[in-house]
Amino acid sequence: MANLVAIYSLNYLVGSVGQPGGIIFNPTPALPDVPISPATASLNDWQGLVADIKRGDVQVLLVRGADPVYGLPKRVGFEDALFPHKDSQGVPFIFSFSNILDDTAALADLILPEHSYLEDWGSDVPDRGPGYQTVGFQQPVVRPFFESRGEHLGTRGFADVLMTVAQGLGLELGLPGDSFKDVVQDGARQLFDANRGSVRAGSFKAFWNGVLQRGGWWDTSATSSDRPPSPPRLQAIEAPAFGTSDLSGFPFHLIPFASTSLGDGRGASQPWLQATPDPVTTATWQTWVEINMKVAEEMGLSEGDVVKVSSPHGTIEALAYPHPGMPPDVVSVPIGQGHKAGGRYAEGRGANVLSILSPTTDSQTGALAWAATRVSISKTGEWIRLPKFENTVSEPPTDEEQAVIQITTGES
């Protein structure tokens, strides 16, 4: 948060607010029914939901596009709160729309799997936008994979499911059609009637085809007329805070990072993503912990040693990877493995580093302070070969060896 405030304040300082190359404010959406994407929930919001569940205020929980059982720190207590016990009333009915049996869907009472985004219709206003009115239109790239199983056994679009349920309950939603495609087309028709922007045509059919060919509609002349607000007074940057003050018991600063292949874990069920090498370590299929080479040597650690990574909130096991570029007091662990469900390629593989994070929040935004956890490292006595695409990183040359290299190559 402090970094963003500083960056935006610099733009105010040099007069680049509302100017090309600087900060450009977006105008109001061209379609009022397609608002700018709302902000995602903060950790404070999730903790509030857990409190509501424990009090018995949540009777039905609908989960879509998220796997909170996997993605929240264990200390938040989300999974534990879902089922009745002395400290929680639980949730009577859990309803999942996931098209993969992820950790949260595996606990649901009912699963209505939705289409992949490649099989569905949609529209959105990009955030952050380009500074003028833009509406993106999404069309199916492929036919639904499970289409042959029929509407009762195959997948369906999320919006279509809700519209069908409303029809079954006799609710009148006031929507222009019986399917979500009809709703999306109605938005395009409103843009066609406006007769402006990047796509114009003599008929709606031609306009609709033009919008789909381009992936959206935009009007570069429709810009914001809002005046830049006054910049806030800069506050003193707060000192870093960690989930524990026991620096001797937990000497390492833990930096979890998103896997380039598995992302935040949603790609773990795909074998081709599991086999995609990390660009730095070239490791695959496992969870490793990157630790400074000198520190690893002092601890008697070699690549492939199974170690325990422990925080005040839990312990995971990972394979040691001595790394020449890692600071001495920092260790890094990739996110993405350690699922309890998700199929044979995801279940029981590696460890979930998110589970041991401290539930510390940013004081201004309430977001998870994902880099505020300290950990300790200890050997288990076991060794497993780390699956990699390349060989082991060698020890960096000493000053004497580097001098010999320079003389041999003729470098000065």
Any idea what the CATH number is for the domain that residue 346 is in? 2.40.40.20
pLDDT at 193 over 80: yes
pLDDT (0 to 100) of residue 393: 56
pLDDT tens track for 213-247: 999 999 999 888 877 777 767 777 777 777 777 77
Mean pLDDT over 56-75 rounds to: 92
Q: How confident is the model at residue 333 (pLDDT cuts 50, 70, 90)?
A: very high
Mean pLDDT over 309-330 rounds to: 93
Enter the pTM of the model. 0.81
Do strands 110-111 and 93-96 pair parallel, antiparallel, or not at all (unpaired)?
Answer: parallel
Shared domain check, 192 and 66 = yes
pLDDT at 387 over 80: yes
Shared domain check, 56 and 147 = yes
Shared domain check, 156 and 274 = no
Shared domain check, 176 and 277 = no
Number of domains in the chain: 2
Query: 16 in a domain, yes or no?
Result: no
pLDDT (0 to 100) of residue 154: 80
Domain hosting residue 294, numbered range? 252-383
Mean pLDDT over 281-307 rounds to: 93
More confident site: 41 or 266? 266
Q: How confident is the model at residue 397 (pLDDT cuts 50, 70, 90)?
A: low
Query: 263 in a domain, yes or no?
Result: yes
pLDDT at 2 over 80: no
pLDDT (0 to 100) of residue 247: 76
Query: 10 in a domain, yes or no?
Result: no
Shared domain check, 352 and 205 = no
Shared domain check, 261 and 213 = no
Query: 296 in a domain, yes or no?
Result: yes
pLDDT (0 to 100) of residue 287: 95
